Structure formats: structure tokens, C-alpha cells
Amino acid sequence: MRMKTLLTVCVLAVLFEACAATPTGNLGATGQPTSAVSATTDRFVPAAGAQAGPGGCGSSQVFSGEVPQTIQAAAGYNAPKDLRYAISDDGNAAGFLFSDPLKATAKPKIFWVMHLARAGQPLTITAHPADASTPVVTVTEPADSGPGEVYPSIVDVPSPGCWVLSLQWAGHTSSVSLQYGSP
């Protein structure tokens, strides 16, 4: 509980710096954001000014730069532009990488923002290597952070590589693949 409180305080301290809301956009064939869409979109998409960079793997990408207004609204505050983030494959979750780059066995911190309501239910993260079904790492985080639809987490994996993180909360599921480097 003490670690979660400390992580929440750190998140709020980092995120208090407001940044301008920007329109959201879709990824084009190059993986770069293209045309803007409404902030009332039914899922998270990277902001038009976001840049794809290292850290994602499989079908997932990690972005830097502009943070979509939809993610900021779901989080309950504005995120700084220098904090990188990944968006789940279905656009229903986003993870801010507080430990960047992610490293295996280093207790990396990921701050999850959910597009779909938590309904007071915990988040269960089940991780496994992209090319294998084992080992499996399971983390459960209570829905006791705020404001917004957020969960701080530490997703610590035992070895470097591409890891698939399956997210389950309040009857919803999403997944994101993230690259973990050597410790």
C-alpha cells in the first residue's frame, strides 16, 4: 500500500504540469499519426503530433510528444509531453511509461489509463513473452487511485524481450506488447 501511495503521489507531481489539449489522430500505413478525429472517439488513438518510437513490439507502438485529449480526460489531468505512452491494440487502455526504457527485473512503473470505466474493479495484468506462453507474470492492482480511470502498476518480468500484457478490468479486456531490455 505504501508503494502505491508513493507512486500515486509521484504520478500526480509529474502530471500537474498542464499541456495543451490536441486533437487525436489515426495511424497511417507508416505508423505515424495522420488525420485528426473527434475527441469523442470511441477509443484512444495517438495525438496528431505524437511520434512513434522505440519500446513497443508486435502490433504495439510507444509514442512521445502530444498526449491525446481523450487520454487526459480519462486520467483526470493533463500529462506532460515528455512522458512516453503506449496504447492498447483495441484503444481501450493507455500506459504511461514512468520507467523508460522498460527493463526486466527492474520493477518498471506503468501508469494505466482506461477508456472504459473501472466500476470499482481491480486491474489484472497477465504478461508472457510474445513468442511463448510461459513464464507468466500476473499483477493485480486495486481501483483505489484517482482522479480518473487510472491504475498505477509495476509490471516486473523475469527476462528481456517482447512481452504481451493482457489487461482485464470490470469485464473489459485489452492487450499491449512492450519491449523490455536487459537490466
Q: For the chain, give the mean pLDDT.
A: 82
pLDDT at residue 27 is higher than 60 = no
Look up residue 145 and give its DSSP letter. Answer: -
Dist CA 32 CA 28 (whole Å): 6
Q: What mean pLDDT comes out for the span 11-15?
A: 36
Dist CA 167 CA 92 (whole Å): 10
Which one has a higher pLDDT value, 31 or 176? 176
Q: Among residues of the chain, what percentage have pLDDT more than 70? A: 78
Q: What mean pLDDT comes out for the span 132-158?
A: 96
The CATH architecture one would assign to domain 2-17+53-180 is Sandwich (2.60)
Dist CA 72 CA 21 (whole Å): 8
pLDDT recorded at residue 82: 81
* Distances from the Cα of 12 to the Cα of 5, 100, 114, 117, 162, angstroms: 11, 18, 17, 20, 29
pLDDT recorded at residue 19: 26
pLDDT at residue 14 is higher than 90 = no
pLDDT recorded at residue 41: 56
| 6, amino acid identity | L
Residues paired with 33 in a beta bridge: 27
If pLDDT is split at 50, 70 and 90, which confidence band does 8 have?
very low
pLDDT recorded at residue 81: 77
- Convert the pLDDT of each residue in 98-121 to its tens digit: 999 999 999 999 999 999 999 999
pLDDT recorded at residue 118: 96
- Convert the pLDDT of each residue in 53-96 to its tens digit: 999 999 999 999 999 999 999 999 888 878 999 999 999 999 99
